[in-house]
Structure 1
């Protein structure tokens, strides 16, 4: 078994400092997620003797490609007091060569194998409040 792959992972980050302890962040990044070694080894592993569709043997795939994605992040932050911050952020990702599991029958056995399953889109919004509190004279970070 041999093979190699590679990918460039550039990142562009911008920060705008706004009045009243506020700031806006914008990031564009290309990220790369390599397959796990066990997912590349073509040897079949039997988990136990109760082989079924929900308990299949597992086999690697030496042709598995890495997942590569483009991501965009936008965040607004407001600093409160000496140690506090409140933020809201949104993100969107477009992922190529998503790794999924292919379940199939090989004779009398069920087998699960990782394959590249196409594209995916992921998006979300996050809210975050962080502050440092003091309890009985001991500083605590709260999030």
Structure 2
């Protein structure tokens, strides 16, 4: 069952992970920083206190989704870039974006649709990029 973990190209996983982490480092704190605060209803709140979970958590999540995509791409024997793009779109839209909206529909999110719309491009772009990198390097 876990043979697929030995079958994936870990260099491809690392490259896709780094690419997604770099995009996250630009997307959230630079491109959508102010709209993100609005989506969370925190315009008048101070900056949340820094913590290990807050700082490391997103990086761990990116790593886990990258490994998961690599496992699925390997198991499905996806080797063509076009198929990688389709796979990335399916995962980015069908799982990651859908789950973002589902989580945001929690009553604690004052602007759930806005939150989802802000996050969706990141998940779709990084899912497609991850898939393409894994296919190209793998």
Q: Bigger radius of gyration, 1 or 2?
A: 1
TM value normalised by structure 2: 0.25
User: Which structure has the highest helix share of the two?
Assistant: 2
TM value normalised by structure 1: 0.24
Q: Which has the higher contact order (CA 8 A, sep 6+)?
A: 2
